[in-house]
Amino acid sequence: MNGTGQDLAGIGILLIQTPDPTLAKLYFRYAAMNAGKSTALLQAAHNYEERGMKVQLFTAALDDRAGKGVISSRLGIAREADTFGPNTAFVGEHFGADTACLLIDEAQFLTTVQVRQLHRLAHVDGVPVLCYGLRSDFRAEAFEGSAALLTLADDIEEMKSICACGRKATLNLRVDARGQRVSEGEQVVIGGNERYRAVCPSCFYQDDALGPSAAPGLFG
Amino acid sequence: MNGTGQDLAGIGILLIQTPDPTLAKLYFRYAAMNAGKSTALLQAAHNYEERGMKVQLFTAALDDRAGKGVISSRLGIAREADTFGPNTAFVGEHFGADTACLLIDEAQFLTTVQVRQLHRLAHVDGVPVLCYGLRSDFRAEAFEGSAALLTLADDIEEMKSICACGRKATLNLRVDARGQRVSEGEQVVIGGNERYRAVCPSCFYQDDALGPSAAPGLFG
Amino acid sequence: MNGTGQDLAGIGILLIQTPDPTLAKLYFRYAAMNAGKSTALLQAAHNYEERGMKVQLFTAALDDRAGKGVISSRLGIAREADTFGPNTAFVGEHFGADTACLLIDEAQFLTTVQVRQLHRLAHVDGVPVLCYGLRSDFRAEAFEGSAALLTLADDIEEMKSICACGRKATLNLRVDARGQRVSEGEQVVIGGNERYRAVCPSCFYQDDALGPSAAPGLFG
Amino acid sequence: MNGTGQDLAGIGILLIQTPDPTLAKLYFRYAAMNAGKSTALLQAAHNYEERGMKVQLFTAALDDRAGKGVISSRLGIAREADTFGPNTAFVGEHFGADTACLLIDEAQFLTTVQVRQLHRLAHVDGVPVLCYGLRSDFRAEAFEGSAALLTLADDIEEMKSICACGRKATLNLRVDARGQRVSEGEQVVIGGNERYRAVCPSCFYQDDALGPSAAPGLFG
C-alpha cells in the first residue's frame, strides 16, 4: 500500500492520500428517466466524504432542471456542482492530489473526447470517476457520452426502474404538452422530466404499427 | 398483458392492477455498512409511487437507529415503516391486491422461513419483493436472512461502498467505545453505526497475525 | 402460461412453443479478445437444444478464422453457422415459429440497423437474441454493432478475461508480425487472434508517453 | 507493479510472478443444474494458461459423474483435476508461488471453514480463487459451500440457464427413475444429472398445492 496515510479511528486502517492508477476505475451507472441516478450520485459523494475524502461534483451546463450548477434528486436532496460543457477538459492537472473521486451527473452529454480523458484520468492519474447518465434518447438512439462510456468504462451497472406495466424500463419516450407521444425533434428538450416516460420495450413498441421494416428510425 | 388497467397520461400505457406471478421477483441488494441501502430503498419506493403504485415498507423491529418503525437514510431522508419480528408472517392474504411491491430494510434479520415466504409471495402471489440488508456480521459470518436471500433471490446485486484505503468494502468490523477492534460478542449490538467500519478484505486481515490456521473464526 | 405445450418428462412442466414477446430479451455479452465468447455461445446453444428447443446460429461473413460459416472455440469445439453481412435482414418472417433463440457471434460487426431489428425481433416477435462480441477495437474505439447493442440490449454482461499483468483485461491492442504494437490502420485485420492482445487499461497506456492531451486518439 | 517479470511478446507487458494480495479475489459463479459451469471453468483455466500462467484445478471427491478427479463439460471437454474432501486444507503453504489461480468445481461441497481458507488465500496469500457451484439443492435449500461463498466472495456472478418454459432457471428439482418429482431424501444423490431439472420458480411451485403455510420445507 503506497502513499502517506493517516490512521483513521485508531484501528490500523490507513487512508491512502496518493491517487493509485492501478486501483482507480471509470464507472458508468446508466438508466432510463427517473431511476434515481442523482440520488445515487449524492449518496456516493456522501460515502466518500464520511470517510474523510474530498470529491468533486459535475453536472451538464445545459441542464436547468434545478438551476445551473445544482444536482437535485426527486427525493428532495440537492447540492451544488461544477458544470461541464463540450469544451471542459477533464485532465489531471486540473485536479488536486487530494481529489479522491470525480462524480459526474448527466454524463450522457459528455463528448467522446471527454470520456477518453476521464478514462485516462482514472488509469494514468489514478482518480476514480463515477458517471451517471441516460443510456438512450426518446427515439432509442444513443447519446454520445453514454455510447463512449459504455465502450470504455471499467465497471458498467444498470440502475433499474419500472415501466408503468410493471416490467423493467429500459427506454424513454417523449410526450408533448397534451401527453401525446412525440417521435421527432431535437435530442434534448429543456423543460423538465414531465415530458418523458421511462418504458419497457413492449410498451415502447405498443403504438407502433409499422413493423420491422421501420427498424432504422423505430417510428418510421 | 392481463389485468384491468388504467390508461396513464393518455399514451396507451396500461397500469396492470393485478399482481402477475410470472413477472414478480424476489430481489436482494446487499452491502457492507453505510453503503446507502436505506436511501436506495426509499428511492425505489418513490419510483413506484410516482407511477401510481402502492408499496408497503418494512424494517426490523430490533432496529432502533431511528426509532421503531422508521427507515432513515444518512442523506437525511426518513419515512415510517411497518416492523417485522421473527414471527411476522409474509403471506399473501396479508397484502391487498393493490400492493405493487414490498420493500424490506434490515433484511439480514429475516428468518429463513420468512425468506421462503417472500419467495413464494413473489412467485405464487405475484408481489415483487425488494430486500436490502447487510451480507455478513463483524466476524464475517453470515446473517440468517442474508444467507437465505442469497440462496433464493432471483436477482442479487451488490451495493458498492469504499474502504478507507480506497478499495471496495465487502466486510464489516466492530470497534469498541475507544475505537479498538472487537472480535467477540453478540452478532447484533444496538447502538448505532459508529461501532462499525466497512472495510475491504485486505484491511480486515491487516491486524490479524494468526495465519490461515485461524480460518474458522477469522480472529482465532 | 400460454402456448400449446408438450409435457417434458411427465413432471408437469410445459414447453412453450409459441414465442412470447413479453419474455424475450436482447442479450449482449461483450469482452476483450480471447475471453471465451464462442465457447459461451456454443454452451448456450447446447443448453437450449438439450431442452428440446431449436436455435439458429450466426457469425460474421468476414470472419475467416475457422472458415466461413463456422463458430469455433479455442477449447477445440466448432460448429457450423449461418453468416451475416451488412445487408442481412434480421426480421421476423425469416424465422420459423419454432426458433427458440438466435445466437450471434462476432456481433461487433452488426450494423446499427441490424441491432434495432434484433431488438424488435425480441420484443415484437418474441424471439430471444443472444449476441457475443468485442466491445472496442485496437484503438479503444467502438465497433458499430457493439455500441448499438450496449445502447439497446436488455441484459448486458461482461465476460471477464485477464491481462498478462493479472488485472482484468478490458481493451485490445494490435501487434505487427514482429510483435511491435501498432497504433494505426484499418479497424479489422483478417489474419487471426495472434495479432491482438487483451490488456488492462494500465498496460494499454504503458507505452504511451503523450499524456492527457492525446486523449482523442489515445496514441496521438 | 511489483514482482520480477518476463516480457511477453516484446510489447512491454510484464508478467507479474509474485502473487499480489491487493489484486487477488475470491470469485463465485453459481447456477442451477446444466448451465455450463464446468465449461466456464475449463475456459478460464485455458485463458490463464494461454498467458503463460499456471493454474490448479479441483473438483469434489464425491463427484463420480466423470470418474474421480475429472472435470468434464457436457460440450465434450474433460480434464483431470485434484479432488477435495471435507478435510482438505486450502492454505497458502500448499501452493507454490507460481500458482496463478485456483479453480474449484462443485464448490457447493466445500465446508464453511474451507471457504474462509480460500478467502484468506486470496487476500492474505494473493492467489485468486474461482469457484463454480450449484446455489441450492432439490428442496431449494442452501448447500453449505455455496452459502459461505455467497457470504464472503468478492465477486458473485449468476450463470444463466433456462427452464423448459423459457424463463430463467434458478432452482433444481429431483425426479425418480420414472420421472416423478421427489421431495424428500438426501441432499446429494450420486447418479448423474438425469435425476435433476433446472427450473424457474413458477415451475418449481407448479405442482405444489400446499400454500404458503408450507414455506419451511417448500413441499410440506
Mean pLDDT within B207-211: 48
- Which CATH superfamily hosts domain C21-160? P-loop containing nucleotide triphosphate hydrolases (3.40.50.300)
Q: What is the pLDDT of residue B207?
A: 64
CA dist., res. D208 & res. D220, Å (int): 9
Q: Is the distance from CB of A36 to CB of A193 less than 8 angstroms? A: no
The distance from CA A204 to its chain's CA centroid, rounded to whole angstroms, is 22
How does pLDDT run across C182-211, given as a tens digit for each residue? Answer: 888 888 776 656 688 999 999 999 865 443
Q: Do B16 and A166 touch (CB under 8 A)?
A: yes
Helix axes B112-123, B144-152, angle to 10 degrees: 30
Q: Residue A191, Cβ neighbours under 10 Å: how many?
A: 11
Q: Is the distance from CB of B92 to CB of D212 less than 8 angstroms? A: yes
Cell of A198: 421511462
Q: Do A216 and C122 touch (CB under 8 A)?
A: no
Q: What is the pLDDT of residue C190?
A: 66
Q: Which residues pair with D158 in a beta bridge?
A: D30
Q: Do A121 and C212 touch (CB under 8 A)?
A: yes
Position A1 pLDDT exceeds 80 = no
Mean pLDDT within A122-126: 93
SS (H, E, C) chain C: CCCCCCEECCCCEECCCCCCCCCCCEEEEEECCCCCHHHHHHHHHHHHHHCCCEEEEEEECCCCCCCCCEEECCCCCEEECEEECCCCCCCHHHCCCCEEEEEECCHHHCCHHHHHHHHHHHHCCCCCEEEEEECECCCCCECHHHHHHHHHCCEEEECCEECCCCCEECEEEEECCCCCEECCCCCCCCCCHHHEEEECHHHHCCCCCCCHHHCCCCCC
**By the CB < 8 Å criterion, does B192 face chain A?**
no
Average model confidence (pLDDT) for chain C?
83
Q: Is the distance from CB of D138 to CB of D175 less than 8 angstroms? A: no
Mean pLDDT within B26-34: 96
Q: Which of B44, B46, B164 sits opposite A15 (nearest CB)?
A: B164
Task: Give the pLDDT band (50/70/90) at residue A184.
Answer: confident
How does pLDDT run across D15-69, given as a tens digit for each residue? Answer: 333 456 678 999 999 999 999 999 999 999 999 999 899 999 999 997 555 557 8
Q: What is the pLDDT of residue C64?
A: 54
How does pLDDT run across D89-138, given as a tens digit for each residue? Answer: 999 888 878 999 999 999 999 999 999 999 999 999 999 999 999 999 99
For the domain bounded by D19-160, which CATH number is listed? 3.40.50.300
- Say which range, C26-30, C215-219, D44-48, has the weakest mean pLDDT: C215-219
Q: Measure the CA angle with vertex C169, ends C165 and C174; round to 5°.
A: 90
Q: Is the distance from CB of B104 to CB of B59 less than 8 angstroms? A: yes
SS (H, E, C) B57-126: EEEECCCCCCCCCEEECCCCCEEECEEECCCCCCCHHHCCCCEEEEEECCHHHCCHHHHHHHHHHHHCCC
Q: Which residues pair with A129 in a beta bridge?
A: A26, A102
**By the CB < 8 Å criterion, does D213 face chain B?**
yes
Distance to chain B for A75, nearest Cα, Å:
7
Which has more confidence, D207 or B27? B27
Average model confidence (pLDDT) for chain A?
83
Strands C168-169 and D78-80: unpaired
Contacts C158 to A, Cβ<8 Å: 156
Q: Which of D8, D167, D199 sits opposite C164 (nearest CB)?
A: D8
Position A219 pLDDT exceeds 50 = no
Q: What is the pLDDT of residue C17?
A: 38
User: One-letter amino acid identity for A71?
Assistant: I
**By the CB < 8 Å criterion, does B177 face chain A?**
no
Q: Is the distance from CB of C141 to CB of C106 less than 8 angstroms? A: no
Q: Do C197 and D9 touch (CB under 8 A)?
A: yes
Q: What is the DSSP string of B199-216?
A: E-HHHHTTT--S-GGGTT
Q: What is the pLDDT of residue C20?
A: 66
Q: Do A117 and C158 touch (CB under 8 A)?
A: no
Q: What is the three-class DSSP state of D121?
A: helix
- Above pLDDT 70, what percent of chain C? 79
Q: What is the pLDDT of residue D144?
A: 97
How does pLDDT run across B98-110, given as a tens digit for each residue? Answer: 999 999 999 999 9
Instruction: List all residues of chain A from 81 to 120 with a beta carbon under 8 Å from chain B.
Output: 100
Count of residues in chain D = 220
Domain boundaries in chain C?
21-160
CA dist., res. A55 & res. C216, Å (int): 26
How does pLDDT run across A7-65, given as a tens digit for each residue? Answer: 333 333 333 334 566 789 999 999 999 999 999 999 999 999 998 999 999 999 975 55
Catalytic-labelled residue, pool B50, B80, B93, B106: B106
CA dist., res. D108 & res. D64, Å (int): 15
CA dist., res. D122 & res. D215, Å (int): 37
Task: Give the pLDDT band (50/70/90) at residue A185.
Answer: confident
Mean pLDDT within A180-208: 81
Position D149 pLDDT exceeds 90 = yes
- Say which range, A109-118, A205-214, C10-19, C39-48, has the weakest mean pLDDT: C10-19
Instruction: List all residues of chain D from 125 to 144 with a beta carbon under 8 Å from chain C.
Output: 128
Q: What interface predicted TM-score (ipTM) does this complex get?
A: 0.86
CA dist., res. C62 & res. C65, Å (int): 9
* Winning range, highest mean pLDDT, from A154-158, C165-169, C212-216: A154-158
- Say which range, A146-155, B72-81, C60-69, C83-92, has the weakest mean pLDDT: C60-69
Give how far Cα D150 sits from Cα of B143, B161, D53, D207, Å.
11, 18, 27, 29
Q: In what order do the strands lie in the sheet with C196-199?
A: C181-182, C171-175, C196-199
Q: What is the pLDDT of residue A95?
A: 86
Distance to chain D for B30, nearest Cα, Å:
10
Q: Which of D122, D136, D151 sits opposite B142 (nearest CB)?
A: D151
Q: Phi/psi zone of residue D83: left (φ > 0), alpha (ψ -120 to 50 degrees), beta?
A: beta
Give how far Cα D37 sits from Cα of C57, C135, D25, D26, D82, Å.
21, 24, 19, 16, 17
* DSSP one-letter code for A95: S
Topology adopted by domain B22-160: Rossmann fold (3.40.50)
Contacts D8 to C, Cβ<8 Å: 164
Give how far Cα D31 sits from Cα of B205, C155, D85, D137, Å.
30, 17, 21, 11
For chain D, helix, strand, coil in percent to 5 are 25, 25, 50
In 3D space, the residue among A36, A173, D46, D122 whose CA is nearest the CA of residue C40 turns out to be D46
CA dist., res. A105 & res. A58, Å (int): 6
* DSSP one-letter code for D108: G
Position A136 pLDDT exceeds 50 = yes
Catalytic-labelled residue, pool D80, D106, D158, D184: D106
CA dist., res. D127 & res. B148, Å (int): 29
b/e map C99-109, b = 16+ CB within 10 Å: bbbbbbbbbbb
Q: What is the pLDDT of residue B211?
A: 39
Q: What is the pLDDT of residue D42?
A: 97
Which has more confidence, B96 or C18? B96
Position D211 pLDDT exceeds 50 = no
Question: Which CATH number applies to A21-159: 3.90.1150.10, 3.40.50.20, 3.90.1170.50, 3.40.50.300?
Answer: 3.40.50.300
Task: Give the pLDDT band (50/70/90) at residue C220.
Answer: very low
Helix (H) or strand (E) holding B45: helix B37-50
